[in-house]
Amino acid sequence: MATHTSETKVVRGACPQDCPDTCAFLYHVEDGRLVDVTGDPEHPMTRGGLCVKLKDYAEHHYHPERLLHPMKRVGPKGSGKFEQISYDDALAEIKTRWTDIIDKYGSQAIFNHCYLGNQGTLNGLTSGDAFFNRLGATIGEKCYCESGSSTAWIMTVGPTGGLDVESLAYSKYIIVWAMNMMSTNLHAWPFILKAKKKGAKIVVIDPIRTRTAKQADWHIQIRPGTDGALALGMINVIIAEDLVDHDYVTKYTLGFEELKERAAQYPPEKVAKITGIPAEDIQRLAREYATTQPSAIREGVALERSPGGGDAIRAVTSLPALVGAWRHVGGGAVEMPIWEFPFNFEFLQRPDWIKPGTRVINELDLGAALTGETKLDPPLMSLFIHNSNPATQQQNTNKLIEGLKREDLFTVVSELFITDTARYADIILPATLQAEQYDLQVTWGHLYVMLNQPAIEPPGECVPNVEMFRRLAKTMGFDDDYWGMTDDELLMNMYDWDAPAMKNITLEKLKEVGWMRLDVGTPDKRAPHAEGNFKTPSGKCEFKASAAENGNFIVPVWRNGYEEMQPGDPVDPVPDYIPPHEVSGANEELAKRFPISLISPKPHAFLNSQFANEPVQQRRQGELTVAIHPEDAATRSIENGDYIRVFNDRGSFEGKAELSEDVSKGLAMANLGYWLSLTRSGSAVNSTTSSSHSNLGGAGCQSDNLVEIAKA
């Protein structure tokens, strides 16, 4: 940290990154220059410390390669050759091309690809929805993350925040299920340590012996994509040994008999064969979990990243009600507390502007949509990409890149840097970084409303997304009041400020203090479902989901507010185990050619692909490494430090071999996030991952990936 003088101005902010912690920032500014960004010591989650990724955040604002002006492509697509143009010329070009496309093909030939590069209310996940709904573009389902787990969570317990992570301090038994908290939810760990000090047992369920697993009392090394079987096996034991809280189940749950029947098909011996976990361990886990109250489950997103991911999360989310864990402070489960925030999605996304009959395409199917593999009428002729970097982050990137190369495709990218995706743009618009913009941050890991106030002027012609869409709306001739509203006017409409959770919270007060806790009970007292009160149609925890009667659906948040169900495979009202596609047994032929399961979790020092172009973070993270079991390495004559090639029918990438028993035999691990343009092979993990979907919410199956490995 730099030393600060009395000349230093301190401005309150909030971290914009796609992370459950959403830390409270203090921006330190001297002579108009951001000299440091520190964590607010008063904030109960941040507690004065930022993660390694954000340690050099002030400098990130002055990165020499930051985009400061609009750019127009001058070389072939993908070459990264651009020349500066004015903002007005960029807007004029967009208007001409879009008008032409709309005349020839209709507005649905335009597609917006957006994710959570920025997590603000004004500038984040939904920042393009109102504009593109107004334009009549094809609706993009934003399914990179949490769409599967949220659908499953809402089907089971409704849109509730569930267990407050701060209440983990009061738990006696904590299961961290598919989450590498030490890297991805660091600020929740101290609450777990508090519980541990008081004697709580910490269990981590993860195929890999991660940093987090190493801190646990018990690491359960599960085969990827088999969590649904483990949860049903636990339910089997809990019911067979009568560890059920019958009073709770009778009063506050729906479908116990059906769940009992389903779980009877998953005795521990059978589950042991599926998951690779010894039957005695499954029994012990079930007994300890049921009888050590309050017991808590921290659900990680990786639970959804397999073909049966949705049902796995429904089964896991059924556990606390079965044993009455919700009765206690510190008991229950947490997916995302985001459901406690009173968003006004009707205003945020303007679903009323969606023209009847507008089609929907999952962003994760963009490669197939662009290349013509999915027959589309009209075809996609223009892409607008912001807050996302699909060329590194989307599965099966080779197919996507083939689509991005199309000469007849008009692509606009709004970015901070010329990323792997921006290289394929026709026009690039420069975006602001967090110290340069105003926003109310959306948080998905705690219960504080967080205001970010601008501390410095935006450099060059950079503008926040919200202003970019105002300009685009004006350019396209939209004259609705919406586009003339100030940031504060928008925010006043985007939340229900009169909701009980917002008691005493106002924008004025937030401007003074920076952050305030929602009025949803304090961590030492909060037990939201002690007496049921689930937000499901029945008001109960639904082991048998009423929502399944509506067929396959995803939460409207992920599709511009669009409510209509898509015809899909019928969903079983009671969760079942749906096996992975890419395992021996499911696909013998594939498993013979590609015998290694590859997992691609989050990097410690990058935030998805962000900061992967920062030399400091590159040093912290190291080069692209593939962890492989020593026996698998030996049969392939691979030694520690060798460069290896990881491949399957979809693609390949190269990395450095790290022989490690942190991965079991038949499993390998390589982190996500490396920029293709900065790797040895010009490719990374997502060159190998498949485009298949989890059974709920259109989520991706990043953990369902068979590969072979050889010396490079």
Ligand X SMILES: Nc1nc2c(c(=O)[nH]1)N[C@H]1C(S)=C(S)[C@@H](COP(=O)(O)OP(=O)(O)OC[C@H]3O[C@@H](n4cnc5c(=O)[nH]c(N)nc54)[C@H](O)[C@@H]3O)O[C@H]1N2
The contact set with ligand X (CB under 6 A) reads: 18-19, 53, 115-118, 123, 144-145, 177-180, 183-184, 205-208, 210, 222, 224-225, 227, 300-302, 305-306, 386-390, 393, 414-417, 419, 431, 465, 599-604, 606-610, 672-673, 685-686, 689, 702-703
At position 244, the amino acid (one-letter code) is V
* Nearest to ligand X of 147, 156 (CB atom): 147
Q: How many whole angstroms from its chain centre is CA 325?
A: 27
Token duo for residue 158: 């409704």
Integer Cα distance of 529 and 27 in angstroms:
38
Using an 8 Å Cβ cutoff, are 359 and 139 in contact? Answer: yes
Name which of 209 and 328 has its Cβ closer to ligand X. Answer: 209
The distance of closest approach from Cβ of residue 285 to ligand X in the complex, given in angstroms and rounded to an integer, is 13
> Cβ closer to ligand X: 575 or 601?
601
- Is the bond preceding residue 500 a cis peptide, omega within 30 degrees? no
> Is 144 or 647 the residue whose CB approaches Mo ion more closely?
144
CB 132: neighbour CB atoms within 10 A?
25
> For residue 127, which of 385, 398, 324, 479 has the smallest C-alpha distance?
385
CB nearer to ligand X: pick between 538 and 664 = 664
Closest approach of Cβ 624 to ligand X, in Å?
13
CB under 5 to 8 A by kind: which of Mo ion, ligand X, none does 310 bind? none
Q: How far, in Å, CA of 558 to CA of 180, rounded?
A: 24
Rounded CA separation 595/407 (Å): 38
Nearest-approach distance from CB 426 to ligand X, in angstroms? 16
For the bound state, the minimum distance from the C-beta of residue 18 to Mo ion, rounded and expressed in Å, comes to: 5
Dist. CA 425–CA 419, nearest whole Å: 10
> Is residue 125 close enough to count as binding Mo ion by CB under 5 A?
no
From CA 667, how far away is CA 663, in angstroms rounded? 6
CA dist 136 and 101 (Å) reads 12
672 is a contact residue toward Mo ion (CB under 5 A): no
Burial of 595 (0-12, 13-18, 19+ CB in 10 A): middle
User: Cβ 223 to ligand X, closest distance in Å?
Assistant: 8
543 binds, among Mo ion, ligand X, none (CB under 5 to 8 A by kind): none
Residue nearest to Mo ion (CB): 145
Instruction: Name which of 36 and 439 has its Cβ closer to ligand X.
Output: 439
User: Taking CB within 5 to 8 Å according to partner kind, which of ligand X, Mo ion, none is near residue 694?
Assistant: none
User: Measured from the CB of residue 305, what is the shortest distance to ligand X in angstroms?
Assistant: 6
- 345, with CB counted inside 10 A (0-12, 13-18, 19+), is middle
Block residue for tokens 């949220």: 150
DSSP string of 424-448, one letter each residue: G-SEEEEB--GGG--EEE--SSSSE
* Partner interacting with residue 416 (select from Mo ion, ligand X, none; CB below 5-8 Å by kind): ligand X
CA-to-CA distance for 348 and 475, rounded, in angstroms? 21
Minimum gap (Å) between residue 529 Cβ and Mo ion: 26
Torsion of CA 492, 496, 500, 503, to 10 degrees: 0
CB of 292 to ligand X, least distance (A): 20
Residue 171 vs 394, nearer CB to Mo ion = 394
CA–CA dist 342, 512 (Å, integer):
21
Tokens for 63?
Answer: 């990165």
Cβ 419 to ligand X shortest distance, Å: 5
Closest CA to 163 of 192, 140, 130, 125: 192
Select the binding partner of residue 121 from ligand X, Mo ion, none (C-beta < 5 to 8 A, by kind): none
Q: Among 145-153, 308-316, 380-388, 500-508, which window interacts with Mo ion (CB under 5 A)?
A: 145-153
The two beta strands, 360-362 and 541-542, are: unpaired
Closest CA to 56 of 625, 610, 454, 679: 610
| Partner whose binding site includes residue 609, from Mo ion, ligand X, none (CB under 5 to 8 Å by kind) | ligand X
Q: Which residues pair with 441 in a beta bridge?
A: 120, 450
d(CA 16, CA 557): 19
Residues 6+ apart with CB under 8 A from 351: 133, 345, 556, 560, 561, 562, 563
126 binds, among ligand X, Mo ion, none (CB under 5 to 8 A by kind): none
* Shortest CB 375 distance to ligand X, Å: 26
Query: How far apart, in whole angstroms, are the C-alpha atoms of residue 586 and residue 540?
Result: 36
Locate 618 and state its tokens. 């590159």
Q: Would you say 107 or 183 has its CB closer to ligand X? A: 183
Q: Which one of Mo ion, ligand X, none interacts with residue 389, CB within 5 to 8 A by kind?
A: ligand X
Is beta strand 295-299 parallel, antiparallel or unpaired with respect to 652-659?
Answer: unpaired
Task: Identify which of residues 244 and 468 has a Cβ nearer to ligand X in the complex.
Answer: 468
Nearer to ligand X (CB atom), residue 236 or residue 414: 414
- Total residues at interface with Mo ion (CB under 5 A): 1
| Residue from 145, 203, 315, 428 binding Mo ion (CB under 5 A) | 145
Shortest Cβ distance from residue 263 to Mo ion (Å)?
30
Residue nearest to ligand X (CB): 117
Q: Which does 386 bind (CB under 5 to 8 A by kind): ligand X, Mo ion, none?
A: ligand X
Q: What is the C-alpha to C-alpha distance for residues 458 and 467, in angstroms, rounded to an integer? A: 12
Residue 487 binding target from ligand X, Mo ion, none, CB below 5 to 8 Å by type: none
Centroid of chain to Cα 694: 14
In angstroms, what is the minimal distance from the CB of 487 to ligand X? 14
Residue 99 CA to residue 532 CA, distance in Å, equals 53
Q: Which is nearer to Mo ion, 144 or 675 (CB)?
A: 144
317 binds, among ligand X, Mo ion, none (CB under 5 to 8 A by kind): none
Minimum distance from residue 619 beta carbon to ligand X (Å): 15
244/596 with CB nearer ligand X: 596
Q: Which range binds Mo ion by CB under 5 A, 122-130, 142-150, 490-498, 551-559? A: 142-150
Report in angstroms how near the CB of residue 616 gets to ligand X at its nearest: 14
Helix (H) or strand (E) holding 12: strand 9-14
- Per-residue DSSP letters for 150-189? HHHHHHHH-S---S-GGGGGG-SEEEEES--HHHHSGGGH
Q: Which is nearer to ligand X, 259 or 431 (CB)?
A: 431
For the chain, give the number of residues. 712
145 or 583: CB nearest ligand X: 145
CB of 205 to ligand X, least distance (A): 5
Nearer to ligand X, 215 or 533 (CB): 215
3-state DSSP assignment of residue 7: coil
Minimum distance from residue 659 beta carbon to ligand X (Å): 18
Q: What is the largest CA-CA distance in the chain?
A: 71
Question: SS3 for 24?
Answer: strand
Specify the residue, 98 or 144, whose C-beta has the smaller distance to ligand X: 144
Rounded Cα gap, residues 607 and 460, in angstroms: 25
Chain residues binding Mo ion by CB under 5 A are 145
